[in-house]
Amino acid sequence: MDEPEIRPLDLSDDDTAAGVHRVGLAAYAVEAELIGFGGIPALGESLEQMRGRALHWVGAVSGGGEIAGFLAWEEQAGGVGIDRLCVDPARFRRGIASRLLRHALTELFPGRPVTVTTGAANSPAVALYTRTGFTRGPDFSPAPGLVMASFTTGA
């Protein structure tokens, strides 16, 4: 497979939105298994609900237009909040999440504070954020049976 290109995603395009939704559902299904919690909100999100979110999107896209992974974020007071970082499970362990995250930190919001959360039991995600310079903050439990880890970077 070719090396995916990192580029902005336009979710007003039906094929792009459908690809992002498919990858997100598949990736969150794996995370749900890892953390033992099936109530991840994005798992129940329809295509239209996803498109309706006020998020900015960047993706890792193959030469054939297939979405290998994506990162979505929102502007927050004083910084940026990463809402989701997903990779197609068929492309796990190929550095796609690392490339997306590095691109976002260095090209899209360099020097700005960034926050992100993930399931505390999602060891691949925890390792990724730690490896890319995030500092782990306090864990919290937004729902019974779910523990989330928080991470920040920047000043």
> Which residues are CB-contacts of 53 (< 8 A; sequence separation ≥ 6)?
72, 83
Can you give the pLDDT at residue 76?
Answer: 92
Other CB atoms within a 10 A radius of the CB of residue 40 amount to 17
Are the CB atoms for 120 and 80 separated by under 8 Å? no
Distance between CA atoms of 53 and 127, rounded to whole angstroms?
A: 27
Can you give the pLDDT at residue 39?
Answer: 85
Give the model's confidence band at 155: pLDDT under 50 very low, under 70 low, under 90 confident, else very high. Answer: low
SS3 67: strand
> Is pLDDT of 1 > 60?
no
Distance between CA atoms of 68 and 43, rounded to whole angstroms?
A: 18
The model's pLDDT over 77-115, given as tens digits with 9 standing for 90+, comes to 889 999 999 999 999 999 999 999 999 999 999 999 999
The model's pLDDT over 115-146, given as tens digits with 9 standing for 90+, comes to 999 999 999 999 999 999 999 999 999 988 88
Structure token pair of residue 43 = 């798992």
Average pLDDT, the chain: 93
Name the amino acid, one letter, at 122: N
Whose tokens are 């297939």? That residue is: 66
Model pTM score:
0.93
Can you give the pLDDT at residue 21?
Answer: 97
Beta-strand runs (E) in the chain: 5-8, 56-61, 67-76, 79-87, 114-119, 135-136, 140-143, 146-153
